[in-house]
Amino acid sequence: MLRVLQLTGLALVDLANARWMGIPTVPSVAGSDQLRLNDLRSIIVDSQYSGSVNEKGQTLIPPTLKEFAQTFSDDLTRIGVNTSVDVGDSTSNAIFLTLGDPSRYRDAAGRTTSEGYTLSVSKSGINVTGASPLGVFWGTRTILQQAIASNGSIPYGQVVDSPGWATRGMMLDAGRHYYPPGFLTEMCAYMSFFKQNTFHLHLSDNLYNNVAIYGRERSLELYARFRLWSDSPDVAGLNKYKNESYTKEQFDDIQSSCAARGVTIVPEIEAPGHALVFVQWKPELGLTDDLSLLNISNPATIPTMQSVWSTFLPWFQTKTVHIGADEYTGEVNDYNVFVNAMADHIRSVSGKDTRIWGTFPPKYNVAGYDNIYQNVSVQHWEFFEDNPLYEYIKHNYSVLNSDDTFYVVNKWSGSYPQALNITRTFDGNPASGSHWYPYVFDTHNSSNNPSPDEALVLGAIAPLWNDYGANASVYSEAFYAWKEGIPALADKQWGGNLTSTEFESLFANLLPHVPGQNLERGIRSNTPTILEYAFNASSTGPGLQNRTSSLISDYSGNNYDGTTDCTASNTSSALLVTGRCSLVSPLGSKGRDYTLTLTLSISSLANPTNATLISGTDSALLLTPNITFVAGGEYFRLNSSLPLGKKAKLAIIGRGNRTFAQLDETEEEEFLTRMGINGERFQWTGMAFEAPLRKIGGKEAGWTGELYGIKLVNSA
């Protein structure tokens, strides 16, 4: 069948089938004409429901319909559509947001879902009717996607839409790699645009404790982290890294920013396996033969973990929390006792439900064997751990699908890919030979999969693991590993049926406009040159001669003018940079691809260990020792340095997922990381740094010299 997708200038309509297109799929009937959003001036929130919230989701801080309306209005502004948000009853020439009969919206198991919505568009305006305010919010994502792809218009038509599964999202290993709060909230914005609603944060873990080669001392020093910071005496000493942790205030902000876009943070504190951080805190709690495992038969172990949870449960704005319980290799019965004791504690202290990773499936007719409670939900990840259908679902356990079909291990792995394999979302279903859906646990053998309407399948979460730790990647590399994966999976987690061809063209159109984030660190530019400061009068501009203000003109045409309190050199052909003055640009950071060229002459280096040439919001470039990138608190050095007392041209090139330096147009040298692989060997791989753009000079500079010019272009 011939399909025609019209993607530019006209509506996002599949003409052959007269339906709207979106990520996820939009079940719709499209008319032939369209409405210009800029002809509507307001979003009207039905006065009957403006304060309503969705209490059926996982979040405990659901936004009101009015609050969602404001987020929608802000998002429209970013794509050039100005609307006011009013509370009222009028429906014409407006986007009217209201609630309607929730029984219209069914999930894959045929139950009502609070996330459904109806959307109708005609010449008189737009109505969005949700099963709840969250349903309305998902409807507004559909409007935005149409408007983005069709230059501010939306086709006439009708949509009745609801997700097949209630838990749709991603899991980030923030235990073996820190991520700043802003990165997490931008990720929520990205996920939310494709109607995912869950961001599972793995908040404690350690590098693999290789007991075959590590002694006790080395295990006790191995990288292990707990990412929540509390001043409570009950956890004093557990976390030693405040600068790589979330305070209560930061965690509150992450949760509320994500909730504002319909995404719930599900926190995980991992024990009794992957628990070295607790053993480093209280060494007596570890199993002597593997300190990353808790000794559950030590009478202090369960009370200690219950006390940790008591400290942090009041922080968590979700109905379900995750206690880890992954890959424990101690006694099975101890493990079951631990899980049930934690579930009882969490329930009695907070009323919350407990989730674990599938590890030891229940056994029946085995004397003295206490299975984990059926009301603890199980996150399946690998068939060598469990068979989710036969071992859990058939015994009435609820299961979340995190099968390692969609695992990502950042940067390098002996077993998993470095970016989510989206091919498997389109052809991962052995039963039908077609799309993967959350009920597909086994992509090879369909007899291991329940029926599509199995009510005990909660949904799906795809994890990214940082097996090789903090220096393997910069923050944004987790985003790039998922950039296509999130929308491709989100379609199927919702129940959509986009083909890979449809997906590719839709995604290319939507990507530049996903609201609430700039994870790619793009910079608006009218020309291939994004920024150019030239201090030499003989080049593009008047240089520094006769300068009367602190303004430094940007010659790119983009008006990214900088400011400086540095003086000009004697010849007025350079800026004299010292530790007592600086040059500041309005830009912070540029993501791949880019070439940043600095022409300069260093006259002295006062700081032999950390002289900073230029710093930005995601990285800094150092001069000592050797040319060095610093990002996320990690240092990546070249074998070369800038010459002293000699004019040099240094180009920093961000090309895809690698970064290079080039001195005076000679050979490029690559910035590499040296990752430790389980204490056995090293693996050298490339790094994808953002270009630092904010500041040159100042207190932290540690050098003096003449700066002739800076140029940033958007290619490599």
Q: How far is the CB of 295 from ligand NAG (least distance, A)?
A: 4
What ranges in 260-381 are assigned the alpha helix state H?
276-281, 301-312, 332-350
Q: How far is the CB of 371 from ligand NAG (least distance, A)?
A: 9
Nearer to ligand NAG, 9 or 233 (CB): 9
Which run of H or E residues covers position 160? strand 153-161
Q: How far is the CB of 153 from ligand NAG (least distance, A)?
A: 8
Q: How far is the CB of 599 from ligand NAG (least distance, A)?
A: 20
Q: How far is the CB of 390 from ligand NAG (least distance, A)?
A: 21
- Cβ pair 555, 534 in contact under 8 A: yes
Nearer to ligand NAG, 263 or 707 (CB): 707
Q: Note if 327 is an active site residue.
A: yes
Candidate list 327, 382, 668, 669, residue with the active-site label: 327
The whole-angstrom separation of Cα 238 and Cα 304 is: 11
The whole-angstrom separation of Cα 58 and Cα 67 is: 18
Cβ neighbourhood burial of 365 (10 Å; 0-12, 13-18, 19+): exposed
Nearer to ligand NAG, 327 or 593 (CB): 593
Tokens 């692989």 correspond to what residue?
A: 677
Q: Which residue number places its CB atom closest to ligand NAG?
A: 633
Nearer to ligand NAG, 109 or 256 (CB): 109
Q: For 606-671, where are the E strands, in sequence order?
A: 612-615, 620-622, 628-631, 634-637, 647-655, 658-663, 668-670
The whole-angstrom separation of Cα 505 and Cα 280 is: 50
- Cβ pair 148, 20 in contact under 8 A: no
Q: Integer distance in angstroms from the first to the last C-alpha of the chain? A: 41
Nearer to ligand NAG, 104 or 347 (CB): 347
- Number of residues written out for the chain: 716
Nearer to ligand NAG, 546 or 549 (CB): 546
Query: What type of residue is 112?
Result: T
Q: How far is the CB of 156 from ligand NAG (least distance, A)?
A: 8
Give the residues lining the site for ligand NAG (CB under 6 A): 9, 19, 25, 27, 38, 80, 82, 91, 96, 120-122, 124-127, 151-152, 178, 243-244, 287-289, 295, 297-298, 347, 373, 375, 411, 417-419, 421, 423-424, 497, 537, 542, 545-546, 610, 612, 615, 620, 622, 625-626, 630, 632-633, 637, 639-640, 656-657, 700
Cα 403 to Cα 39, 187, 391: the distances in Å are 47, 21, 15
Nearer to ligand NAG, 256 or 634 (CB): 634
Q: How far is the CB of 528 from ligand NAG (least distance, A)?
A: 21
Q: For 520-593, where are the E strands, in sequence order?
A: 529-534, 551-552, 562-564, 567-568, 575-577, 582-584, 589-590
DSSP string, 96-156: EEEE--GGG-B-TTS-B-TT-EEEEEETTEEEEEESSHHHHHHHHHHHHHHHHHTTTEEEE
- CA-based angle 698:636:218, to the nearest 5? 120
Nearer to ligand NAG, 409 or 514 (CB): 409
Q: How far is the CB of 593 from ligand NAG (least distance, A)?
A: 11
The whole-angstrom separation of Cα 329 and Cα 339 is: 14
Token digits of residue 51? 């304060």
The whole-angstrom separation of Cα 71 and Cα 515 is: 10
Residues with a known catalytic role: 327
